[in-house]
Structure 1
């Protein structure tokens, strides 16, 4: 079993369906309402764990009921919580999510406690880093914690996956220490200035990211799949056609699964292919962390696809 360290956010998801996205000043009657575990870090940790990894989560929660639920949810997923710490004054983060009839979403995130994750919190987890096969980090927490994570993992010669979401500007030194970067089209444009509209422009964006010293560039393309550039060749690993119910968390499903698969020794293309399947299955259910598929679901799905 591979060891994955995930450093990032935990927030509670507060989600409702809406017939359409409200305009400024408009109130829309929606429903049903659902509440569940979320946050990019938490979602990715669950995705990795459900694909068979031994996962350690590094985050902060509030001294409140949502924080207690967070630890209970992680433990239910067999995720190690020794570095899930409690902030004395900040509340557990929350995400306000609206999902329309086309399964598109709009999200407002109040980071709360996980936005206070610090360099000291990361350093406290250094033994877990030493034992890790791979480290996964996003941008949904403090830059101090993100940069400290990248530096510590790099100093220990651990492969690092950076999911640059939601976009924050990282310094060039940090980017050059990353082994894999996994932006979506919008984040890739923020990082490179390239407007992605076709395969030529996605290749141009991938080259620009490679030029920043990142050896493996994975630009996720939603249902179309993922564009992969390994420093030599670029190609699109296609996605899977499914009936989407809720696309929230699909990128997190991909990242957590990819971390597990690449740590297990799958080739880059095979790891992406399998992670595409995990992302596809996640959108067939409502929610984020609860929608992450189990390993046997993915294996059965891929067997049906190949049949």
Structure 2
């Protein structure tokens, strides 16, 4: 069992089904409504914990009912909460999510407390980074906070898995320290300027990232699977597991949490990608984000049936 530390966002998801996603100015009657734990950091921490890792989560939430429910969720999942800061000044973040009949979604995030995380607050949680087999980061918190976590990981020689989502321009010098980078097609284009339309363009994008210092590039391609590149010109396409998607919200988080668990547990990279894809496939077959993350029992049964 690996030790995964997640430094990232937590928001409460407020989700409703809708026949179709509204266009600007349109009101759509939807339902039912569902509330639950979310945020990229919270989703990934939950996915890693349910996959079997010991997880420490570094985030910031409010002293409100949403924050109370967040703490209950983490404790139910066995996630170490000692480095979660609670703020009396800022409310717990929220995400307003609409999911249509095809499982596609629109999301509006109000970051709240987690959006105010500072570098100093992350530095106060250095022990969590020091103890980790892998540090999992996203870009839903301030770049100052992300940079503080990267510096700690470099100091303690902790491998870094960066999921560059939602896409933001990041300093190239960060990439020199990234062991695993997991952009989707949009994020890869933002980081490289290369539109991914086939294997050749995926390799060009991966090579651009390798030249900036990234060790392993894992480009997630949704239903088309994953493009894995372990070095310049050394890439391969790994097909996705076909499933009937109910709700694709959080699919990328599911992959990253499962992948982080697999890497921290010592799996070979191709097996880790397959594991992450299994977690993602199972998650989209249920509604919700963190609550849709599968258990290790479900993941093992799925992989046994599909491989």
Give the alignment's TM-score, normalised by structure 1.
0.98
- Provide the rounded CA distance (Å) in 2 between the counterparts of 1:4 and 1:305: 26
1:82 counterpart SS class? coil
- Provide the rounded CA distance (Å) in 2 between the counterparts of 1:51 and 1:173: 32
- Correspondences of 1:182-197 after superposition (within 5 Å): 182-197=182-197
- Correspondences of 1:107-256 after superposition (within 5 Å): 107-232=107-232, 233-256=234-257
Gaps of 5+ in 2: none
- Number of aligned positions between the proteins: 306
Answer yes or no: is 1:8 the counterpart of 2:8. Answer: yes
How far the C-alpha of 1:192 sits from its partner, in A, is 0.6
Give the corresponding residue for 2:26.
26
Answer yes or no: is 1:259 the counterpart of 2:265. Answer: no
How far the C-alpha of 1:271 sits from its partner, in A, is 0.3
RMSD: 0.8
- Provide the rounded CA distance (Å) in 1 between the counterparts of 2:87 and 2:208: 39
Give the corresponding residue for 1:291.
292
Deviations 1:175-217 (A, max 9, x none): 2111110000001011111111111111111111111100100
- Provide the rounded CA distance (Å) in 2 between the counterparts of 1:281 and 1:76: 20
How far the C-alpha of 1:172 sits from its partner, in A, is 1.2
Gaps of 5+ in 1: none
How far the C-alpha of 1:63 sits from its partner, in A, is 1.5
- Provide the rounded CA distance (Å) in 2 between the counterparts of 1:58 and 1:88: 17
Runs of 4+ residues deviating >3 angstroms: none
Give the corresponding residue for 1:94.
94
Give the alignment's TM-score, normalised by structure 2.
0.98
1:80 counterpart SS class? coil
1:81 counterpart SS class? coil
Deviations 1:119-154 (A, max 9, x none): 122111111212111100000001110011111101
